[in-house]
Chain A
Amino acid sequence: MKSVYLLQWQRFRRAPIMVLSFFVMTIIFVGALAGNNPAERPAVMAYADDSLAQNEAEDWVASLNEAEEFQFQLMDEDAVREAVSSGDTSLAVRLLEDDYRIVLAADDMSRFVIEAFLDRKYREELRLQQLEQQPGADDIRSEAAAEMEEPALRVTTSTLGGIDEFKYDNQLQLLFGMTLFFSVYTIMFSLMKIVEEKKQGTWNRLILSPVAKWEIYLGHLAYSFTIGYLQIVMIFLLFQYVFNFDIGDRFGAILLIIACYTFAIVALSMLVMSLVSRPQQLQAVVPIIATGMAMIGGAFWPIELVSNQLLLAISKVLPITYGLEALKGVAIYDRSWQELSEPISILLLFGVACMGIGINLMERRTY
């Protein structure tokens, strides 16, 4: 097994371009789409409705910017409409006295995120305004703020599945999504060497040697696992320490999740390879699987924004869904081990099932 494993590294050293290209592409995509300044919040253009005075509009913008999720910029209506119509921004917000409107150029996923945020902030603000109109409640805002410092009662809301209120972190969404997406290519193309070896005849040489067949498989699987695992870990470390992303300090949990996810993808690759016979077929199938899985599993946008029940049902059988859920659970929601155990267990179960079926089918094809 060791000889087969070391051989794959030797071959990688001679032809590293494929793996390195996926590594570099991950960095380029995450870097370009998420930016490298963690303090930089997504900017949203806003303008005041005629019914709203300038100072009222400024108050609203200040209130919205308190949350530090988006950077609302109050601008002139003409300038905003020009920016939307020319495509400089995909959306803008029209602020009303007790409501808002979204001006859209294209209906993308950011609309759902901003809409959810505005909805929440407007409800809170209007509730406070309502309270202020009550007799003797002039100072209700400062009182509420003071009370919130040390609340008499804390109410924690969670669902049965341990899903917290949706929080959107653009940087981590992109980092996790793109890294897991590109790692599928690296793992699948690395494991494709088994199919190549069977075609070239070197596999038969190995079979005729004293090395057991399971050792040959294990050598290949271990190599694909290692290279996929290292790619994900190195990218996370790079963005954490060089580009100042904040994936938190629970590195142990993150390393465990990466290991389980990588195992699941290695197993899925084995299953895919058992169903196709030629390397050329695999080259066509891998991008379809990787992209399809990433789109449905929430690698390109948060799965929480998807409402189509069919897509959500399909996402439940994709390992990338659980990989992202677990990673975001650690880095964004700070979930407990108990809550993380579900996606981790599913990833392991998925891996064991795919591996079993894959090796079985591949062996049947040999004879």
Chain B
Amino acid sequence: MLETEELKKVFKGKTAVEGASLYIDKGESVGLLGPNGAGKSTTISMISTLLKPTSGDVRLNGKSVIKNPSDMRRVLGVVPQEIALYAELSAYENLKFFGRIYGLTGKALETAIQHSLELVGLVERQKEIVKTYSGGMKRRVNIAAAMMHEPEVIIMDEPTVGIDPQSRSHILEMVRKLNKEKGLTVLYTSHYMEEVERLCDRVYIMDHGKIIASGTKDELKSILSSEETVWIELDRPYPAFFKELQSIESIKQAIETEKGIKLILPKGSRVLGKVFQASERHHVQIINVNVQTPSLEDVFLHLTGRKLRD
């Protein structure tokens, strides 16, 4: 349904996105993961026709939208990262305006407003001024505004940033329903790995302006299928112990964490014995040891060498 080909964007000599190629099938829910500055927002701005690419193409149903963005804009809803609402107006007034600019009038407009408000669970408080809402409620109206014209594709740019867990859960459930029950095609960017794991069928991972990996969640995890992660919880940091673990040949990666040390090992490697021996030598107090199968977070760490929220 929607695809990009070798998208590139250069700002004042600095390349923000390079060679970004991705596709989204109709009714699919796709995640775009990456740390700050990875180029996610620039990529979705180009896909949504807000930003002209320096080179490359964006196609909707096989037709380029670069020169004629109206086809894309008609079927697209965008939920921006910021609260793009008129704070001095009520939720109802905001939705009425955004419906009007899409040509809705009269009964159709009223129906669309109430439908969108129901979707985000704000029917009861629709007449209240937006600036008096909580962060979570504002985010919900932000989504409702993008849904007024019943788009076929929705792009959500970190829609849950800075809100309470309850509102976040409400939004995630709403997006899941829209995708699974109404067949809405979703492109979802987030910092939160668990959101992407919960919502998305496929994932693209971006770093330094490039797509460095893509596939279904299982496909991505299989990158690390030959590895396992061991978390060692310690009572305090032991630099000498950490240094010794780094020198053990069968440990692929040793990373210091807040609570202790994380080890990435080849699957089936019998290295724990060596770890305990080293701990004896360094008088290390081990509180807990946990062996884990890889998560998307591990995949991300493996691919980029840094955490998603770095």
Contacts and interface: CB of A to CB of B under 8 A. Distances in A.
A7 B83 contact: no
B73 interface: yes
Interface string A49-79: 0000000000000000000000000000000
Nearest to B88: A14
Contacts of A10: 89, 93, 97
B85 A208 contact: no
A20 to B, nearest CB: 15
Interface in B68-110: 70, 73-74, 76, 78, 80-86, 88-89, 93, 97-98, 100-103
Contacts of A336: none
Given A15-B88, A210-B74, A210-B103, A205 B50 contact: no
B196 interface: no
B73 A210 contact: yes
Interface string A1-40: 0011001001100110000000000000000000000000
Contacts of B49: 208
B89 A11 contact: yes
A201 B86 contact: no
Contacts, number: 59
A205 B98 CA distance: 8
B52 A208 contact: no
Interface residues of A, number: 19
Contact of A202 (B48, B73, B84, B129): B84
Nearest to B97: A7
Contact of B73 (A3, A208, A367): A208
A338 interface: no
B51 A367 contact: yes
Given A205-B98, A208-B78, A200 B70 contact: no
B97 A3 contact: yes
Interface string A186-230: 000000000000001110111111110000000000000000000
Contacts of B66: none
B145 interface: yes
* Main SS at interface, chain A: helix
Given A208-B73, A209-B102, A11 B86 contact: yes
Contacts of B70: 210
A11 B81 CA distance: 23
A303 to B, nearest CB: 40
B102 A204 contact: no
Given A3-B101, A14-B89, A208 B84 contact: no
B101 A209 contact: yes
Contacts of B129: 14
A204 to B, nearest CB: 6
A14 B88 CA distance: 6
Contact of B84 (A200, A211, A367): A200
Given A201-B80, A201-B83, A367-B51, A206 B88 contact: no
B156 to A, nearest CB: 13
Interface string B241-267: 000000000000000000000000000
Given A10-B93, A201-B80, A201-B82, A207 B50 contact: yes
Given A7-B97, A11-B86, A210-B74, A367 B80 contact: no
Contact of A209 (B73, B82, B86, B93): B73
A148 B98 CA distance: 71
Given A209-B102, A210-B73, A204 B93 contact: no
A11 B84 contact: no
Interface in B200-225: none
Contacts of B100: 3
B74 to A, nearest CB: 7
A364 to B, nearest CB: 12
Contact of A200 (B48, B76, B78, B82): B82
B50 A200 contact: no
A204 B78 contact: yes
A202 B93 CA distance: 14
A11 B86 CA distance: 8
A207 B49 CA distance: 9
Given A10-B89, A14-B89, A205 B102 contact: no
Nearest to B84: A201
B84 A205 contact: yes
A209 B85 CA distance: 14
Contacts of B85: 200, 202
A204 B76 contact: no
B83 A205 contact: no
A200 B84 CA distance: 6
Nearest to A207: B50
Contacts of B82: 200-201
Nearest to A204: B50
- Across the A-B interface, the 4 shortest Cβ-Cβ residue pairs: A201-B84, A14-B88, A201-B82, A209-B101
27 contacts: A3-B97, A4-B101, A7-B97, A10-B89, A10-B93, A11-B88, A200-B83, A200-B84, A200-B85, A201-B80, A201-B81, A201-B82, A202-B85, A202-B86, A204-B80, A204-B84, A205-B80, A205-B98, A205-B145, A206-B101, A207-B50, A208-B49, A210-B73, A210-B74, A210-B102, A210-B103, A367-B51
Interface of A: 3-4, 7, 10-11, 14-15, 200-202, 204-211, 367
Given A202-B84, A204-B80, A205-B146, 13 more contacts: A10-B89, A10-B93, A10-B97, A15-B88, A200-B82, A201-B81, A201-B82, A202-B86, A205-B80, A205-B98, A209-B98, A210-B74, A210-B102
